[in-house]
Amino acid sequence: MAEVVVGKEKGGEQRLVSLPLSRIRVIMKSSPEVSSINQEALVLTAKATEFFVQYLATYSYKHGSGKEKRALTYSDLSNTAEESETFHFLSDILPKKILASKYLKMLKEEKREDEEEGENGSDEGDNDEAES
Amino acid sequence: MAERPEDLNLPNAVITRIIKEALPDGVNISKEARSAISRAASVFVLYATSCANNFAMKGKRKTLNASDVLSAMEEMEFQRFVTPLKEALEAYRREQKGKKEASEQKKKDKDKKTDSEEQDKSRDEDNDEDEERLEEEEQNEEEEEVDN
């Protein structure tokens, strides 16, 4: 019976870390000041990254707008980066999209106003040409 | 060494699986959200490495170790990860110890059968190849996802 339990643990339990250690090492070593990393530090960083992905996803989902729609969207994530102190280091790589689209809308509105003025101007120009 | 910028990305298939396991069943994760979390994870690795390296430098050590990573988590306000990480470290150490014992057992077996040595060696090499193949498969999965 004891053997069955052991077997189950071996077969049923996943690998300790699911992210590829070789890739984590490459990312860690891309930092110029790092000279060497021992295996335990590598395993822990990989595991921490898994926890981080889980935490970022669940935190953003809980605080996000898509709960009724059962969806996790980019704006949930960028909101998290902006509003949570812990996740604030992500704000540069997860910029708020809403602001950008609002900005574009503002630009469009400005442009439309310009165009309307411009159209009036060119209409007058056409009229001038027609008259001459 | 990172030669291409995509070398700094983590495999999308694995990231997606971790997200799906963390969220309730049936939650839709937009493609954009997935790649954003993946990018965030790479930045997290760099941030953690840099913090851990500061602790190593303070200790006048050149090699990052487990305690540096744990200190980095506290510094980064991810204290909630410290206890589960310590548990993972214990599990890892147990696993290594088990592997060591297994290989010692193998040695003993080898001593009994003198001509089985080469077979054992080739078996070890086979295992290494299997691991590499697994990683390649993960990368292939990632590429398939991108195509979709």
Residue A114: inside a domain: yes
Chain A residues with CB under 8 Å of B19 CB are 53-54, 57, 72
pLDDT at A91 over 80: yes
Tell me, yes or no, if A20 comes closer than 8 A to chain B by beta carbon. Answer: yes
Mark whether A86 and A54 lie in a shared domain.
Answer: yes
Provide the total of helices (H) and of strands (E) in chain B, helices listed first: 5, 2
Confidence band of A128 (pLDDT split at 50, 70, 90): very low
Angstrom distance (rounded) from CA A108 to CA A103: 9
Q: What is the CATH number of the domain that holds A69?
A: 1.10.20.10
- Predicted confidence band of residue B4 (pLDDT cuts 50, 70, 90): confident
Q: Which domain holds residue A117?
A: 98-132
Cβ neighbours around A79 below 10 Å, total:
20
Short-list B113, B45, B38, B52, CA closest to A53: B38
CB-based contact A48 B81, cutoff 8 Å = yes
The rounded percent of chain B whose pLDDT value lies above 70 is 74
Can you give the pLDDT at residue B107?
86
Whether the pLDDT of residue B35 is over 80: the answer is: yes
Confidence of residue A14 (pLDDT cuts 50, 70, 90): low
- Rg (C-alpha) for chain A, rounded Å, is 28
Residue A86 corresponds to which amino acid? T
Residue A47 lies in a domain: yes
Q: State how far the Cα of A45 lies from the Cα of B15, in Å rounded to an integer.
A: 15
pTM of the model: 0.70
Instruction: Indicate if A80 and A47 belong to the same structural domain.
Output: yes
Looking at the complex, report in whole angstroms how far the Cα of residue B119 sits from the nearest Cα belonging to chain A.
24
The 3-state DSSP composition of chain B as helix, strand, coil percent (nearest 5) reads 80, 5, 15
Tally the domains of chain A.
2
Q: Are residues A89 and A102 in the same domain?
A: no
Class of domain B1-77: mainly alpha
pLDDT of residue A94: 94
Cβ-defined contact of B11 to A20 (cutoff 8 Å): yes
Residues of A in contact with B32 (CB under 8 A): 73-74
pLDDT attached to residue B79: 97
Q: Quick one: A45 and A83 in the same domain?
A: yes
Residue A75 lies in a domain: yes
Residue B69: pLDDT band (50, 70, 90) is very high
- Tell me if B85 and A93 make a contact (CB, 8 A cut-off): no
**DSSP state, B102?**
H
What band does B1 get if pLDDT is binned at 50, 70 and 90?
low
